[in-house]
A and B are shown apart, each in its own frame.
Chain A
């Protein structure tokens, strides 16, 4: 088994409210800040910065004010000049890059956990850009073994870091914790508890790693994003003519085979999956994706091999 030494993770950030109506993250961050006030800076075994990413959107309980902040972290958008007419989120993204970055530099925070909710039935899904970040993948493996109340899955976007656009790409290692299903604007206790547990376990892993624990390598099952599918729409008005089929609704990460139902039209016809390749759907019927023209994403199941890791002693 391959054995890799990696530097310790000195600083971690937990970000909630990147989308202002995804409430688990908002309240996890709030609760962590309350704990810090009550118990002092030593409340966690490693230094943790807590951030409310999009405070104006949180105040109005909306996904965003001007534009989706979780698409504002490209190199271009982080370096574009800010004027009076700049969208709020572009401005805020640059503030966050100054606080937690700079993205791509050696000063960047070691780990950002960005907390999100989805209306899709995705349990706990850990989303990351690449297949070669051993720290992030080890944390995913750790969460998969420790959390048993809901399925824990790993989703890799397979996008080079140079093209990354979301908040967690500001740090050296980062991932999104996506928990669902939860309606936007609602806080469910069961979903909050899963999110809180995942954050606590991430802090726990980093502390153990930094203290010299050896984490055995092995196989990590993951899903790689391949493409997206839109709803059937009226060609003129672009309004929906079908909804996600009842047999697909809530079946995130199931096996989708040729001939399986995808949509049920309002006039009663079933639209079936016509491709030959068996893929796995996820983000099925996410509220925020109607405006992005996405009914669901499709992914391929892959097996990633990760080496045994241990902290590099100076």
Chain B
């Protein structure tokens, strides 16, 4: 009976939120959330409260990524405990409000699950972003979603890197999940990208409903890409970029990048090669919002995570 002893009993996921507009120009999430605020039938499930929510309404109104500072980097302990004074950046005030409504972060009162909807200009397809390799609920949910979407692929990005991990809006919840779908230009709504995101959420909510109704999910493994390193553009002494992502690397998210492969192309036509010793899997290649964050792409390595069987804990 050894399989019985490896079932993790987890708390029911009773309160779920779907955040759109954490970045005000990433249109799929904004459109979906606004639609569900008007009519929530599609996201209703038995025994489950699902709250659609626009995280950064001022940025959405302006159709810009943020007003003063990136909301999706604002959920640090320092920001969340900043005193209420005049002149606080808009997103800092907003982060504190969100933490009060859906958190507090790290407490037992926090929402169980938050889905944070994003788009990227990178050719990442459908991607789910995890912040922990040991969150069994999230691993099982991601496994369920991937199986339900097959044969359409869905990549899983794990950002557990001590320096590169950032304090996301969704990190207020016990089980944060990022949905990143691309490629889509900022300010543009593409029908196929919109429908992909909608379908991912449908499967995610189905999973939560099944879990809450007592279904046991057997042990599983999840193929992930683990964040390794941030690679910046070559720059001059003034900080201006001197090269572009090379055409051979452009749009090749998740494909192997080997030592000696072309990486950047300077404006006057010279190729810069990847010099890393090991094969890596680049992602977020040429994301518009990351030029100012000094990132041309991120490198990842492939890993297989194992998850125990899970079942809702009996009261």
Q: Closest residue of chain A to B240, judged by CB?
A: A30
Q: Mark A231-248, 1 if CB is under 8 A from B, else 0.
A: 000000001100111100
A88 within 8 Å of B (CB atoms): no
A147-187 CB contacts (< 8 Å) to partner B? 181-187
Q: Are B250 and A190 in contact (CB under 8 A)?
A: yes
Q: Tell which of B63, B191, B246, B268 touches A264, judged by Cβ atoms closer than 8 Å.
A: B191
With A185-B291, A186-B286, A244-B191 known as contacts, the answer to whether A31 contacts B267 (CB < 8 A) is yes
B192 within 8 Å of A (CB atoms): yes
**Bound complex: CA A62 to CA B105 (Å):** 34
With A184-B288, A186-B121, A249-B190 known as contacts, the answer to whether A31 contacts B183 (CB < 8 A) is no
B144 within 8 Å of A (CB atoms): no
Q: Mark B155-197, 1 if CB is under 8 A from A, else 0.
A: 0000000000000000000000000000111111111101000
B245 within 8 Å of A (CB atoms): yes
Q: Are B188 and A190 in contact (CB under 8 A)?
A: no
Q: Are B35 and A27 in contact (CB under 8 A)?
A: no
Q: Are A27 and B267 in contact (CB under 8 A)?
A: yes
How many chain-B residues does the 8 Å CB contact rule pick out?
31
- Return chain A residues, CB-CB under 8 Å to B246: 189
Q: Tell which of B194, B244, B267, B288 touches A185, judged by Cβ atoms closer than 8 Å.
A: B288
Q: Helix, strand, loop or mixed for chain A's interface? A: loop
**Bound complex: CA A31 to CA B63 (Å):** 31
Q: Closest residue of chain A to B265, judged by CB?
A: A189
B295 within 8 Å of A (CB atoms): no
- Return chain A residues, CB-CB under 8 Å to B194: 243, 266
Q: Tell which of A181, A188, A285, A287 touches B286, judged by Cβ atoms closer than 8 Å.
A: A188
- Return chain B residues, CB-CB under 8 Å to A249: 190-192
A-side interface size class: 20 to 34
A75 within 8 Å of B (CB atoms): no
- Return chain A residues, CB-CB under 8 Å to B286: 186-188
With A186-B286, A243-B190 known as contacts, the answer to whether A287 contacts B185 (CB < 8 A) is yes
With A189-B250, A190-B247 known as contacts, the answer to whether A119 contacts B192 (CB < 8 A) is no
- Return chain B residues, CB-CB under 8 Å to A119: 185, 187-188
- Return chain A residues, CB-CB under 8 Å to B191: 243-246, 249, 264
**Bound complex: CA A176 to CA B291 (Å):** 27
Q: Tell which of B35, B188, B268, B292 touches A287, judged by Cβ atoms closer than 8 Å.
A: B188
**Bound complex: CA A299 to CA B257 (Å):** 43
CB distance from A16 to the nearest CB of B (A): 12
Q: Enumerate chain B interface residues (CB-CB to A < 8 A).
A: 31, 34-35, 63, 121, 183-192, 194, 240-241, 244-247, 250, 265, 267-268, 286, 288-289, 291-292
| Besides the known contacts A246-B191, A285-B189, 6 further A-B residue pairs in the complex with CB atoms under 8 A apart | A119-B188, A183-B188, A193-B247, A243-B190, A243-B194, A249-B190
Q: Enumerate chain A interface residues (CB-CB to B < 8 A).
A: 27, 30-31, 34-35, 61, 119, 181-190, 192-193, 239-240, 243-246, 249, 264, 266, 285, 287-288, 290-291
Can you list 30 pairs linking A and B with CB atoms under 8 Å apart?
A27-B244, A34-B267, A61-B291, A119-B185, A119-B188, A182-B185, A183-B183, A183-B288, A184-B185, A184-B187, A185-B288, A186-B185, A187-B244, A187-B286, A188-B250, A189-B247, A189-B250, A190-B247, A243-B189, A244-B190, A249-B190, A249-B192, A266-B35, A285-B188, A285-B189, A285-B190, A287-B185, A287-B187, A288-B187, A290-B63
